């Protein structure tokens, strides 16, 4: 078996185990390349794992276009969770539309309103959630495990692609004709909100274009943070 075939088999086994033992479970898709690999695996296997995205109100048109691409390719409609309008209005009125450039605190508050709070609603009532994070993506993800105990949300968190390399992701996408975000062909290996993501130069870290004005150690949106600290909970034996 090739390395990719082995990885796909292991990932399918993880997803099948989630479907068998952890339902209801949901997959948080950012509509980026890794998430499209998981989308392809989940939908082709018809697994009972719901897929949702956080529509922050600041996404690129190319990212929003992925919603239709998924619908056209798989006949599946990704559920969208949006921020509370009054919270966004209050933040903008008090601080300005792009106050996240001013400090890490202002950036985290914007992420809290536009991502973390909607994520809480999306996860409520589930036993497990799934992400497309990979260990090799950044310093903040170096200790990522396939299965983690997410005490903050009171459920199990799965990162089925933890062992995958960026090359594995693209080999899978190309071999299986998986639709992907057009921004990936424009120098964006990692994609978040439009004002907080830039293209990177060859040789730069894959997450260098995310919140590029901040120190690498602070670069998480809060979806994987508790009380402002990174949560890398101990691995749970499969």
Query: Which of residues 115 and 224 has its CB atom nearest to ligand SF4 in the complex?
Result: 115
Position 195 contacts ligand SF4 (CB under 6 A): yes
CA dist 137 and 58 (Å) reads 23
Which residue's CB comes closest to ligand SF4? Answer: 193
Q: List Cα–Cα distances, 171 to 2, 51, 137, in angstroms.
A: 12, 23, 17
In a 13 Å sphere around the CA of 144, the CA atoms on its Cβ side amount to 23
Contact 37, 51 (CB under 8 A): no
Position 192 contacts ligand SF4 (CB under 6 A): yes
Query: Which of residues 22 and 91 has its CB atom nearest to ligand SF4 in the complex?
Result: 91
Percent of residues in the chain assigned helix, strand, coil, to nearest 5: 45, 15, 40
- Nearest 5°: phi and psi at 227? 50, 40
89-148: contacts with ligand SF4 (CB under 6 A)? 100, 107, 110-111, 114-115
Task: Tell which residue, 189, 218, 194, has the closest CA to residue 205.
Answer: 189
221 is catalytic: yes
Contact region with ligand SF4 (CB under 6 A), list: 63-71, 118-126, 189-197, 200-208:
189-197
Position 191 contacts ligand SF4 (CB under 6 A): no
Query: Which of residues 21 and 102 has its CB atom nearest to ligand SF4 in the complex?
Result: 102
Annotated binding site for [4Fe-4S] cluster: 110-111, 193, 196
Question: Which positions are annotated as active-site residues?
Answer: 221
Chain contacts with ligand SF4 (rule: CB under 6 A): 56, 58, 100, 107, 110-111, 114-115, 192-193, 195-196, 221
């Amino acid at each position: 078996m090739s390395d990719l075939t082995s990885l796909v088999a292991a990932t399918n086994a993880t997803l099948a185990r989630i479907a068998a033992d952890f339902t209801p479970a949901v997959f948080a898709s950012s509509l980026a390349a890794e998430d499209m690999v998981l989308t392809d695996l989940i939908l082709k296997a018809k697994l009972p794992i719901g897929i949702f995205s956080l529509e922050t109100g600041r996404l690129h048109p190319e990212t929003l276009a992925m919603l239709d691409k998924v619908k056209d390719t798989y006949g599946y409609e990704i559920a969208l969770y949006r921020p509370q309008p009054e919270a966004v209005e209050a933040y903008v009125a008090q601080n300005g539309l792009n106050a996240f450039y001013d400090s890490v605190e202002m950036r985290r508050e914007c992420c809290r309103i536009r991502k973390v709070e909607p994520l809480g609603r999306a996860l409520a009532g589930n036993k497990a959630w799934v992400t497309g994070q990979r260990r090799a993506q950044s310093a903040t993800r170096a200790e990522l495990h396939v299965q983690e105990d997410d005490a903050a949300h009171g459920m199990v968190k799965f990162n089925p692609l933890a062992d995958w390399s960026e090359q594995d992701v693209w080999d899978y996408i190309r071999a299986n004709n998986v639709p992907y975000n057009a921004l990936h062909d424009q120098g964006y290996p990692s994609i978040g909100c439009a004002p907080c993501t830039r293209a990177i130069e060859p040789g730069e870290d894959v997450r260098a274009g995310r919140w590029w004005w901040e120190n690498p150690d602070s670069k998480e949106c809060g979806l994987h943070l508790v009380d402002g600290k990174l949560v890398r909970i101990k691995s749970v034996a499969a």
